[in-house]
A and B are shown apart, each in its own frame.
Chain A
Amino acid sequence: MAMPQTKDAPETATTEIAVSARNISKNYGDVEALRDLTLEFPRGQLTSLLGPSGCGKTTLLKIIAGLLEPTAGEVEVNGKTVTGPGPDRAFVFQDFALLPWASVLRNVAFGLELRGVAKSEREDKAAKYIADVGLAGFEASFPHELSGGMRQRVGLARALSVDAQVLLMDEPFSAVDEQTRRKFQEDLLALVQNENKTFLFVTHSIEEAVYVSDQIAILLPRPSRVSEIIRPSGFRDKGVDNIRRDPEYLDIVDQIWASLRNYVE
């Protein structure tokens, strides 16, 4: 069987590592969510975490964000050990976590507001990112006036506006319809291209993971560890429209499904 992901092994050796999780274990009381998980995230690339529900993807992302303390092991971001949340990381929440009493503008600027950035400066910045995610004209709207996909963009703009080097995205497209999702995926590819940021991306969709990722980490069910790392490489520069027809793309999707299907039963 063809193993396309192993072809570019030499390339990764030269890539700089932005985030590394080393021997992470996490227990919630009796529940062992993660056991001895080790994973590295190359700078400027998008890494997807793919795995069955409840395997600990959110847990891992929150540990990297500094929102949760691992039971064992440590996380390094840019060579520094993580002890809590930091300005180098920004989180995009699966449930949006927008403040209902604040306008879109204030929500997007909220991260900057907490950092004490002056009002006019942070609102200028927020307005720029609101436009970037395609929400220009909605600055004064309140979250409940937006559709699910638009709220998701607000959460994304908020994370982008603090200009963190590492973006932690927990199932960011889970709440949008298929068309919007495809649009978001294309936008995300452009974002990875244009901004020199490191993306950690949780998804349930195999196709989505293969479509957007430079690296896919497949996690086993609880207690979770990395079972496989796949690096799709061949089709990345063939243009967004051709990726889904590319044989390598289809092969990788099949291959991932083959290794995950054992756990679905």
Chain B
Amino acid sequence: MLTRSLFLKLLSAVIVFGAWQIAGMIPVSYAFPTFMESMDALARMTFDGSLFVAYGETLKPLVVGIAISAVLGISIGLWIGLSQLFDWAFSPIFIVMQAAPLAALIPLLVMAYGIGLTSKVFVVCIMAMPVIVLNTSGAVRNTPESFKEMGASFMADRRQIILKIILPAASPIIFSGLRLGVSAGFIGAILSELKITPTGVGDIITYSRSIADYPSMYAAIFSIIVLAVLFLNLLEMLENYLFEGNNRGYASD
């Protein structure tokens, strides 16, 4: 079972990279390097340390932004899910935030918070938070009534119902919101480095494009994707550790 899913993952990787290699060899565009060229550039940047320096910059707004989005997003989502009044007052903000064209907001953020870390953290949060909030509130609202009733019949107080029933029951959807939020946060972090000030990985992308070093540019993009996938897997492991039975289906199905 495990080896089979690993095999499938490897297979899909081989197919994607193979297609990339072929597309680069044709080439579909002179600005599109082959997979091997990009890997060469990635190895070079890894060994001369420039990749690590770049990530030192990029990870700052990313980690801070995602941490804020996760903690604040889940708390706000919980509130919205538990209270009609909160739902009425705050849900629209996050729906608008999710739909807002971020690129158009960036100049406003820069005007308000400058070009430093704060603006970049904001960009990450604007990208990551809405989906976390909306998923959490939806899941909390949809907690099966029978679970809550069961808790009440065994004399759970409000706090126990939230901690021992509502949150675990909502956790699969909260985690899927977190996964989407983290992915969006990665996009936000790179976007902020491209649109606000070129630092970190965004700088590698901008700079190597300006000198037509496309392998390096694609290597940087590739590394971001790998990092995002690693992070998402980590999140999945955390979820499995915390709520073992959840990913194996609901008993009431």
Contacts and interface: CB of A to CB of B under 8 A. Distances in A.
**Do A and B interact?**
yes
Interface of A: 62, 65-67, 85-87, 89-91, 93, 95-103, 110-111, 113-115, 142-146, 151, 158, 162
B250 interface: yes
Contact of B154 (A62, A95, A111, A143): A111
Interface stretch (B75-83, B143-151, B186-194): B143-151
Contact of B251 (A89, A96, A110): A96
A102 B242 CA distance: 11
B1 to A, nearest CB: 15
The 6 closest A-B pairs by CB, nearest first: A143-B251, A97-B150, A142-B245, A111-B154, A91-B153, A101-B245
A151 B160 CA distance: 23
Given A97-B146, A99-B165, A146 B251 contact: yes
Nearest to B155: A85
B154 A100 contact: no
B48 interface: no
A10 B250 CA distance: 50
Contacts of A145: 248
A211 to B, nearest CB: 27
B160 to A, nearest CB: 6
A142 B245 CA distance: 6
A67 B154 CA distance: 10
B251 A98 contact: yes
B154 A162 contact: yes
Interface in B239-253: 243-246, 248-253
B226 to A, nearest CB: 31
A224 to B, nearest CB: 21
Contacts of A162: 154
Interface string B188-222: 00000000000000000000000000000000000
Contacts, number: 82
Contact of A114 (B156, B251, B253): B156
15 contacts: A67-B149, A85-B153, A89-B153, A90-B154, A93-B150, A99-B245, A100-B246, A100-B251, A114-B151, A114-B156, A114-B164, A142-B248, A144-B245, A144-B251, A158-B154
Contacts of A146: 251
Give the secondary structure class of B's interface: helix
A37 B227 CA distance: 65
Contacts of A66: 153
Given A95-B146, A96-B251, A144-B253, A103 B245 contact: yes
A85 B245 contact: no
Given A93-B146, A142-B251, A144-B251, A102 B154 contact: no
Contact of A144 (B156, B164, B248): B248
Contact of A85 (B152, B168, B171, B253): B152
Given A93-B150, A114-B164, A151-B251, A100 B245 contact: yes
Contacts of A93: 146, 149-150
Nearest to A113: B164
A97 B149 contact: yes
A85 B249 CA distance: 30
Most buried by B among A87, A99, A143, A151: A99
A142 B252 CA distance: 12
Nearest to B154: A111
Contacts of B251: 96, 98, 100, 142-144, 146, 151
Contacts of B246: 100-101
Given A101-B243, A101-B245, A85 B250 contact: no
A146 B250 CA distance: 11
Contacts of A67: 149, 152-153
A90 B153 contact: yes
Contacts of B146: 93, 95, 97
